Structure 1
């Protein structure tokens, strides 16, 4: 039966339109956030040291004075999305930072700026325009390939700056995750003397672990061109290789945000290599995975939304997937692991420990 406008009230009709518009224009939030970072708005407010007026902000940004009201309109959106606080108790409104905008300070130890700029880079937004094309034909592995003519790893290897932008984004995320891991979950490293960080890039996670836990030695495994030229120490070493072929033997293997890049068949290969790597440990060792478990924290709508957004993102870029606990359990079982444990440690992501 055709939809009849008369079947709904005027209020319902207008509310429905507003709902559609809210999602249609959601990209405005993302692009306003990117603009704020590029202009250095969080840094300007932080440097000011206390709530800043619009005129002071415009001056500190060296913005065109004729566009001061445009800065005001940009800040109005960012206040609405809770990236900044607006104090209107005085004659001229003043802006201050929130916990979220403190993560947008470029020099902050736990800054997320590189990650935001990566995801909002044109090369990473363009694939979303090709999703319907990808879903209706078999020509491409991913929407990313449909957009760029090559898979993401090939594209980054050949496009100047792309690989560095990606590594910087992953390192910034690793710094934040490592901070939480070694501060609040240090006990998961008890009994571990050697750790293999698989896909660990330039060693951001591994460095944080060995600095916080001096009794552990880490080896970082990544592609040869990623670790080329990186200097090893007694506590931290680098190995160029392929995780699908072999993983260095260790008491434990760490996979931070690796598994969601791959389909089940490839994840099974990775897990089998991990099992081989920890098999020589007298207590059986373990594999530690930091990734999403999509059917947890369902009472937190922000977590649920982020997990679903991440799932669509890895589908679009890598042909990967975020997994439910049942899907993780099947992977562990198929790879020969006897048990597993899930700790909901990082909001959107969890710590999964698999035991041979």
Structure 2
């Protein structure tokens, strides 16, 4: 049966409505995830050593009896979204449902080597994500970053003024770095022949420490804002240096830009890359710049992966940055004076790009 709306079938309209409602209520997915991290549920299940029943979970959390049903609703949504697995506890007569960890929720167990809970806490903090209510204002006002619509200044200025949020942000970046480090362990070819490397925007040194542990003969400098590195102590082959990457970058055989360039406009990226080029170019010797960032490839990658990258492309616009496809990356490299580049896989989301002067 046809509808009076543009001659659409009723089934098409109902499907469109479902898609609309799915996106309209998508924030509930994010808030449910935030709730599970705030309640430390992945860690509780991990420490329990086996799937935990609803009654055990609410007992540990000391949930009022009037809210038990709401906990179950949240857990069922999270399970449907892949964060938990619902299993039946055969030992109980009533076969009470229980919840087990999945690979995804294992990444939220606090105290483990690979824990992304700080990323969830940072990204979903109200102080940061309230800006996303202001797309309209941001779009109409020139030179206004999305964060500035709610924070009153850009992110970096806000972090410099607010130590607690600076810590929250740095913890989030450090947790993400551990995921990248997992990939770097299989990238020996990147570090072959290098005596020194500078990790620009290296934060508290999570990646730098892994590089130094894996390659003890390689000298690593973690280079970041003075506020970030001022109280950090290095080791035999790891040092911390404060500075501004727009002014100069310490000299080395290689410069690492891990998830840095996507924060900046094309014009700023070219400035940064030129400083990095100066850092790896000395008399008679030319090193390389190593970029770890997203490369959008809609024609060759799975739809779900592209969707995440496009979501990140909108998200990073809060800093006036962008995610780029290969042609956009190539344009930056050439305009910054580099002659060649090579792209290799790194993680599911990120690629490793070696660029040469």
TM-score, scaled to structure 1: 0.95
Q: Which residue of 2 aligns with 1:42?
A: 42
Question: Is structure 2 residue 124 aligned with structure 1 residue 123?
Answer: no
User: Which segment drifts farther, 335-344 or 292-301?
Assistant: 292-301
Contact 1:195/1:217 (8 A) holds in 2: yes
Question: CA separation in 2, counterparts of 1:333 and 1:27?
Answer: 40
Question: Is structure 2 residue 112 aligned with structure 1 residue 108?
Answer: yes
Q: Which residue of 2 aligns with 1:187?
A: 189
The runs of at least 4 aligned residues of structure 1 exceeding 4 Å deviation read: none
Q: Which residue of 2 aligns with 1:328?
A: 329
Question: CA separation in 2, counterparts of 1:329 and 1:6?
Answer: 44
Question: Is structure 2 residue 238 aligned with structure 1 residue 252?
Answer: no
**Could you say what secondary structure the match of 2:134 adopts?**
helix
Contact 1:250/1:281 (8 A) holds in 2: no
Contact 1:83/1:98 (8 A) holds in 2: yes
Alignment of 1:45-194 (within 5 A): 45-88=45-88, 90=90, 91-138=95-142, 140-182=143-185, 184-194=186-196
Contact 1:40/1:61 (8 A) holds in 2: no
Contact 1:206/1:220 (8 A) holds in 2: yes
| Alpha-carbon distance change, 276 to 122 in structure 1, aligned in 2, over 3 angstroms | same
| Alpha-carbon distance change, 281 to 94 in structure 1, aligned in 2, over 3 angstroms | farther
Q: What is the CA deviation profile of residues 4-61 of structure 1, one whole-angstrom value per residue up to 9, with x for unaligned ones?
A: 4261222112111111000100111110000001111111111111111110111122
Q: Which residue of 2 aligns with 1:340?
A: 341
Alpha-carbon shift at residue 281 of structure 1 (Å): 7.3
Count of residues in Structure 1 that have an aligned counterpart in Structure 2: 351
| Alpha-carbon distance change, 281 to 181 in structure 1, aligned in 2, over 3 angstroms | farther
Q: Which residue of 2 aligns with 1:307?
A: 309
Q: Which residue of 2 aligns with 1:238?
A: 240
Question: CA separation in 2, counterparts of 1:198 and 1:345?
Answer: 18
Q: Which residue of 1 aligns with 2:354?
A: 353
**Could you say what secondary structure the match of 1:109 adopts?**
coil
Q: What is the CA deviation profile of residues 266-324 of structure 1, one whole-angstrom value per residue up to 9, with x for unaligned ones?
A: 111111111111112755211001101112674322211111111111112x1011111
Contact 1:260/1:321 (8 A) holds in 2: yes
Contact 1:251/1:281 (8 A) holds in 2: no
For structure 1, list consecutive stretches of 5 or more residues without a partner in the other structure.
none
Contact 2:270/2:335 (8 A) holds in 1: yes
Question: CA separation in 2, counterparts of 1:160 and 1:51?
Answer: 39
Question: CA separation in 1, counterparts of 2:160 and 2:4?
Answer: 53
**Could you say what secondary structure the match of 2:269 adopts?**
helix
User: Which segment drifts farther, 159-168 or 94-103?
Assistant: 159-168
Q: Which residue of 2 aligns with 1:294?
A: 296
Contact 1:83/1:100 (8 A) holds in 2: yes
Contact 2:85/2:101 (8 A) holds in 1: yes
Alpha-carbon shift at residue 179 of structure 1 (Å): 2.0
Contact 1:298/1:304 (8 A) holds in 2: no
Alpha-carbon shift at residue 160 of structure 1 (Å): 4.7
Alpha-carbon shift at residue 106 of structure 1 (Å): 1.1
**Could you say what secondary structure the match of 1:346 adopts?**
coil
**Could you say what secondary structure the match of 2:43 adopts?**
helix
**Could you say what secondary structure the match of 1:143 adopts?**
coil
User: Which segment drifts farther, 294-303 or 38-47?
Assistant: 294-303
Contact 1:44/1:61 (8 A) holds in 2: no
**Could you say what secondary structure the match of 2:71 adopts?**
helix
Question: CA separation in 2, counterparts of 1:232 and 1:75?
Answer: 43
For structure 2, list consecutive stretches of 5 or more residues without a partner in the other structure.
none
**Could you say what secondary structure the match of 1:354 adopts?**
strand
Contact 2:226/2:241 (8 A) holds in 1: yes
**Could you say what secondary structure the match of 1:126 adopts?**
helix
Match of 1:275 among 252, 274, 277: 277
Question: CA separation in 2, counterparts of 1:167 and 1:281?
Answer: 36
